[in-house]
A and B are shown apart, each in its own frame.
Chain A
Amino acid sequence: MLRRVRLCLSAIALALATPAAFAADPVKIGIPVGLSGANSVVAPSVVQSAELAAEEINAKGGILGRPIVLEVADDGSGAAGAQKAFDALLFQKKVDVLISMETSAARNAGLPIVTRGKKPYIYTSLYEGRSCNKYLYCNAPVPEQMVAPIVDHFMKKFGAKTFFLVGSDYAFGRGMLKFTREYIEKHGGKVVGDEYAPMDATDWTAIISKMRSAAPDAIVMSTAGGAPNVTLTKQYKAAGLKAHIGNLSVDEGTAKSMGADAEGTFITASYLTTLDSPKAKEFMAAMQKKFGGNLKTPNDLSVPEYDAIYLYKAAVEKAGSFDTDAVVKALAEVSFDGPRGKVSMNKQRHAPLNMYLGQVQKDGSVKVIETFDNVDPGDQCPKL
């Protein structure tokens, strides 16, 4: 009897010990993302990007020998959900790093929790710029990189003089369009309307009526990414207005889900599926192989997630440890050559990027109109 118990115990001990002998503790990457709410249209593509990066890195031995485990949490695309998601990821799941695309409302709500949790946070969404925190890096475009191509194109190619700005009423919409207004006015254009609807608004009737009476040459949209983009564009098209549209927050995946309604919309992006560099093609092939028919169109909100996981890996390897301060310091010094070209967050926590002016076609694909190499993000966080 005693012998059998002892045998049993040693078997359990062996079972517990064995995996530890082969694999170190995993490194946990927290991904707070908008699985519900406005961002839910793009969030699945962000998660897919992360899954591919994790799988590729794990196949080659992980980060400093530790395999990656992803912890995905729904932030509800807003501040309230983000507080819960950041709290749960940092203090319950005890993640080593946060890497995610979110709304600016969610990011701003999460930052104080990151400061408390003392972990690196790489934000991978294009945004209104100037979000600065000791632990924060961003590898996606800011207004300095996005606004000029669209406004210049409208002014030079179409002779546009009057602009109407419309966005969601929060940090992103307001910040992006403030920059746009200043840029337009500095270059001799006139802003004839500047309107905002709540972040979760689905009814744009009143604003579309104002557009109609203002009769602008061009309209620049900057809503929360995902759902509001679709409802605004649909209702704009249904109203029969004909101004040129530039959109600062629509990604290629969302554009595709709008079908013919998005046709003709101009966008700026640091990634488009039509890029034909070898790295971009390699990435696309890997995504298609991994997800097959379930693949969500990779886009400018999801590909930076892929890049950022590799940037984190490079920073940890350069620092030689997972120590927060060392990794945060190294993040500014490393680079990754991925689908968007060589990306390095070496400019005040932000990244110079290759930018593309694209126009959405009838089938939802995006045609590249103009390419801008290595566009500087400008002064973002001069004090850090």
Chain B
Amino acid sequence: MTATLLDIVTSAAILYAVAAGLLIVFGVMKIINFAHGGFLTIGGYSALAVTKLGWNPWWSLAFATGIGFVCGMIIERLVVKPLYARPLDAILATWGLGIIIGQVITLGFGREVQFVQSPMSGAVDLAGASYSSYRLALVLAAAVVGIGIAALLQRTRLGLVTRAVIMNEDLARGLGIHSGLVRFFTFSLGAALASLAGALITPLSSVDPNMGVPWLVNAFMLVLVSGVSFLSLLVATVVFGGAQVLVSTFVSPVLGGLTIVVLAAVLLRIRPQGFSRE
């Protein structure tokens, strides 16, 4: 029982960390960044690079965030910026970009599945059950990401202008806010968050050039039902992540893999605004 509960909490935390970057980009730019899976893969391979260089595995988190941010900056300028007025084309372009990222990684690192050193191993005893300490650390990491984003949006000048752009971009521009700069920063931040998520999830699994795709699908569904609110994203990850764990545990892991996608489709059919309040 305790274990199932912990599974739900940790799975929700992982999903939250993965979807947060996609949500912030969607909130500001109104485009779904389909290269999100590619940035996640970049994060996984950043962690692999840290392992190969023989650094302390904790460095992979900072390293992946930095690499993700820089890649995000470059790609925003070269690919995404010219497409702001054409959201549908932007979806195509970012999807293609995801494929290109996968191929470039294949050229650089090979196409085989590889493994990353884990920053912590072993289990801790918690309420009578021993549980993976790394999965528990992931909850902490997701909480830091969540609180960090909230603090950035609510407590800083940058957050204020970002919220202004989210609410009404034309009005914000009329008030002298440089919305292009906000978009530039947001996209880079979204890429950095995706890359960080990639580095966080790899130690317990593996990296390969297509590792981002299944995560992208789940994150996309979660963002669709969350609107642009981080609070509803939290609700969505707990509900859907919980359902995924329960189906995997009590029915079959094969069906568990489909849970989020199916539930999201059903929810949107019944309640088009999903978990958001509007």
**Residues of chain A whose beta carbon lies under 8 Å from any beta carbon of chain B:** 35-38, 40-41, 43-44, 74, 169, 195-198, 201-207, 209-210, 212-213, 226-227, 230-231, 234-235, 237-241, 257-258, 261
Contacts and interface: CB of A to CB of B under 8 A. Distances in A.
Contacts of A231: 204-206
Given A40-B208, A231-B204, A240 B253 contact: no
B130 A240 contact: yes
Nearest to B203: A234
A198 B254 CA distance: 6
30 contacts: A36-B112, A36-B209, A37-B113, A37-B208, A41-B113, A196-B253, A197-B253, A198-B257, A201-B253, A202-B211, A204-B253, A205-B135, A205-B245, A206-B256, A209-B7, A209-B249, A212-B3, A213-B3, A234-B118, A234-B204, A235-B204, A238-B121, A238-B123, A238-B134, A239-B130, A239-B131, A240-B122, A240-B124, A240-B130, A241-B130
B131 A240 contact: yes
A206 B7 contact: yes
A258 B249 CA distance: 26
Nearest to A209: B3
A198 B214 CA distance: 13
B65 interface: no
Contacts of A74: 111
Contacts of A40: 111-113, 208
Nearest to A236: B132
Contacts of A207: 248, 253
A245 to B, nearest CB: 16
Contacts of B133: 238
B115 interface: yes
A258 B133 CA distance: 19
Contacts of A235: 132, 204-205
Nearest to A204: B253
Interface of B: 3-4, 7, 10-11, 111-113, 115, 118, 121-124, 129-135, 204-206, 208-209, 211, 245, 248-249, 252-254, 256-257
B253 A195 contact: yes
A206 B112 contact: no
Given A195-B253, A240-B130, A35 B204 contact: no
A44 B112 contact: yes
Given A231-B205, A240-B132, A206 B254 contact: no
Given A209-B7, A231-B206, 15 more contacts: A35-B112, A36-B208, A37-B113, A196-B254, A197-B254, A202-B206, A202-B211, A206-B7, A209-B3, A212-B3, A230-B115, A234-B205, A237-B121, A239-B131, A240-B132
A240 B249 contact: no
A238 B204 contact: yes
Contacts of B209: 36
B227 to A, nearest CB: 27
B113 A38 contact: yes
Contact of A169 (B206, B248, B254): B254
A206 B245 contact: yes
Contacts of A197: 253-254
Contacts of A209: 3-4, 7, 249
Nearest to A231: B205
Nearest to B245: A206
Nearest to A241: B130
Contacts of B113: 36-38, 40-41, 226-227
A205 B123 contact: no
